Amino acid sequence: MQQSMHIVKQKAVQFLVFLLLFSPGFNASAQSINTAEWVWAKHYGGAEEQITHRIKADASGNVYSFLQTSNAQVIAQNDTLTAGPYMSGGGFALLKHNRNGQLLFSKRIVLGTLQNAVSTYPLYAGDMAVDGNENIYVTGMFTGPTLKIGQNDSIVVPVSQANFYKQFIVKLNSAGTVVWKKYGQVTGIAGSQGSPAATHLSVDKDGDVYIFSQFSGYGGTMYGFDNFYLQATEQSGSNFYIAKFSSQNGQTQWLKNGFTGSTTSVEGLSVDKDKNLYLAMRGSGLDLNGTFYTIPNVSGVAGRILLKLNASGSFVWVKGMNAGPRFRDITNDKSGNVYITGNFYDTLKVSSPNDYIINNHYSSSSPNAGFILSYTPAGILRWSRVFYAMGVADASSAIAVDENLNSYVTMENYGTVYTGNDTIPVNTIHTPMVCVLKLDSSGAIAGHKNTGYTISASSRSFTTAVDLAGNVYTGGEFRTEPTNPLTTFNIGNSSFHAIEAQDAFIAKLKVAPLVSFDTISKTVWCPSDSVKVPFRYNNTLFSSATNFALELSSVTGSFSTPSFVTTLPFSNTGLDTFKFVLPSSLAAGSTYKLRIKAALPNATTLPYDTTVTIASLPPVPVITQAAGLLSCSLTGYTYQWYKDNALLPGATGQTYAPTASGTYKVKVSNAAGCFNMSTGFLYSATGIKESIGADEVDIFPNPVLTYLTINIKRNMNHASYTISDVQGRILNKGSLQSGKNKVYVKDLSAGIYWLKIQNDTRSAIYKVIRQD
């Protein structure tokens, strides 16, 4: 009966979604995943096992992957990873690629020494997150006295701590440089090692860090960071803890602990827009900071628990599931809704708040069904989706949610997926392959995309991410037959063969953008420029009420507080241009990123391929007069002279020889094309009645090396000359006679000079070049 009621509600929701989807100008799932393309993939292999444990994407489209490796020699296609010195116990690799798949940096995390590493696996599975400023946070567990982080950083612990499993947390900036690092310390019975445990990490909108992990209680065991320590709630079992750390310096903000019974295990952590925490775990009850909570469906059995805490780590609500299911991934959308994926066998029973029951109708052929549950921030079930697949291995491995609340879930399957009334032949060749399923905001199937194989190959996706533009990223592992090179893992145009047993991969699935930049002709902007930024959009998908917004990032490259925003209304053309005057508030000499945002549906571009630079203006030039020449006060610029606001053709030097009275100005421009104009300079030609004719004087040779000849061809009473540099300084002068006059100029530096010839009534100025 409860299942029938749910189906009725689900059909009603689907009808409302149908009305939205087919309303003119709006389609929340407009970007088709069916036509998306695998544009690049990376293969990381070596001896034994390599796994992509976590993948993330930032607002710029950069991709971060956290690999767990089992040996020193990791062979990377097109990338180079620096091997650590002590890798017998495994290690991690942190990689950052740009949107085109180019490796920006790699960082290895390995044991600094194998001495006192008391376990066969002294490094244990960790997690990774990225904040809004492209800072990266990684975590995991290690034993031994030293953990190396790249080539130049390490965590060194006292000898007394060497034998324990210790939590490590490292913050790196966008360039991969370590900002801070820390580890948890254990106190208790000497020689007690504890147990390795999965560790989950998340960051909030301010970049503060949250860790969800566990530690074993033995006798008086205590565990903690800085001055915050916890004593084991259960002295003989595994305890979980939640900790918050400052993004700025890594200092512990608070630390909470709990116990869910002898079967305690942590399985996921997510933080929403309001800094609420969602914890996924296994257990038979809940003791949180000494307070016991009764949870339906899990009392006395090893069921699953979904727990919500507020920003200070206090209890908000809890959901319980029966013993069959297993959680695989958890995330939040921008509205604060939470999504959790997993798999189960016969029955999934959830308290929500009343029991909600799902039966696996294909349990005989598909014993491992997958599920997705989505809850509101208040804990009300929004929708659920179950996947039954023929021979499925990982039904709902990982999930990510985009700006329009579409969700993307990865699975490995052998054939057909059944979900509700939908039948999806995701794998027609019936070999294990990764499938990415897209669900719209109501949970309805909106498409899928597969990887492909030859025979005798398999793969699994452990992690997925989606960027602001709707592109999907996934990573995991694949296997091929070691001795048969014809067995390959195929994804897009890439074909990989495992080096030994099991290799790691990451890949990008690119969708058609809803909005995109056209080419911007000029990316160096001057203060107060009139700027044009052209762009394109799919005019059949947006509402007539849509406004497109062009954002300039902060000087640090963040869009959380843009430096400038201008908007443009929908015009139904599919092609438009932002036109605006650059505000003077933008910092000269700084660079900015550009992106475009829209709504109905939500669409955000990745930043334009090139950052824009705000160039500086030249100083305001000043005109001076000397020896009949006008000179600009600034050197090293491009010049243009004007008379009475009219451009003077060819007048492009630092000095200008005027021939008539008027108001003169000079415009100076720098290499970026930014310019400034002088104020007007009033020049009067008083006393100069006419110019000396071109047929009256010869000047040669020009260019000149040693002697300049001035040939006065007609009688000119009281004739004289001056030679000035481009700054207007007189460097040589003398009187002239009729006929040829030789002037020694070899003592002048090579360059441009002005020769002025005059008598009582006439004058002329000539440009002379002195060469070596």
- Express each pLDDT in 7-45 by its tens digit: 333 333 333 333 333 333 445 556 789 899 999 999 888
Q: Determine phi and psi for 2, rounding to 5 degrees.
A: -65, -40
Taking 60 as the threshold, does the pLDDT of residue 2 lie above it? no
pLDDT in tens, 447-466: 888 887 766 777 888 899 99
Tell me the average pLDDT across 325-354. Answer: 86
In the chain, % of residues over pLDDT 70: 81
In the chain, % of residues over pLDDT 90: 45
Taking 90 as the threshold, does the pLDDT of residue 239 lie above it? no
Domains of the chain, first to last: 112-133+153-158+166-323 (no CATH), 525-597 (no CATH), 623-683 (no CATH), 692-770 (2.60.40.3080)
Tell me, what amino acid is at 708?
L
CB atoms within 10 A of CB 589: 9
Taking 50 as the threshold, does the pLDDT of residue 469 lie above it? yes
pLDDT of 30 reads 64
Q: Is 504 exposed, middle or buried (0-12, 13-18, 19+ CB in 10 A)?
A: buried
**Residue 457 vs residue 639, higher pLDDT:** 639
pLDDT of 177 reads 96
CA distance 377 to 374: 10
pLDDT in tens, 327-340: 999 999 999 999 99
- Considering 4-13, 221-230, 246-255, the range whose residues carry the highest mean pLDDT is 246-255
Can you give the length of the chain in residues? 772
405 sits in the region (left: phi over 0; alpha: psi -120 to 50; else beta) called: left
Range from 36-45, 345-354, 534-543, 579-588 carrying the lowest mean pLDDT: 345-354
pLDDT of 715 reads 83
Taking 70 as the threshold, does the pLDDT of residue 597 lie above it? yes
Taking 70 as the threshold, does the pLDDT of residue 314 lie above it? yes
Tell me the average pLDDT across 655-681. Answer: 92
Q: What is the mean pLDDT of the chain?
A: 83
Taking 90 as the threshold, does the pLDDT of residue 528 lie above it? no
pLDDT of 24 reads 38
At 159, is the pLDDT very low, low, confident or very high (cuts 50, 70, 90)? confident
pLDDT of 20 reads 35
Q: In what order do the strands lie in the sheet with 739-744?
A: 697-700, 707-712, 739-744
Tell me the average pLDDT across 115-143. Answer: 79
Tell me the DSSP string of 171-237: EE-TTS-EEEEEE-EEESSTT--------EEEE-TT--EEEEEEEE--TT-EEEETTEEEE-SSTTS
At 628, is the pLDDT very low, low, confident or very high (cuts 50, 70, 90)? confident
Q: Is 721 exposed, middle or buried (0-12, 13-18, 19+ CB in 10 A)?
A: buried
Q: In this structure, are strands 612-614 and 524-525 parallel, antiparallel, or unpaired?
A: parallel
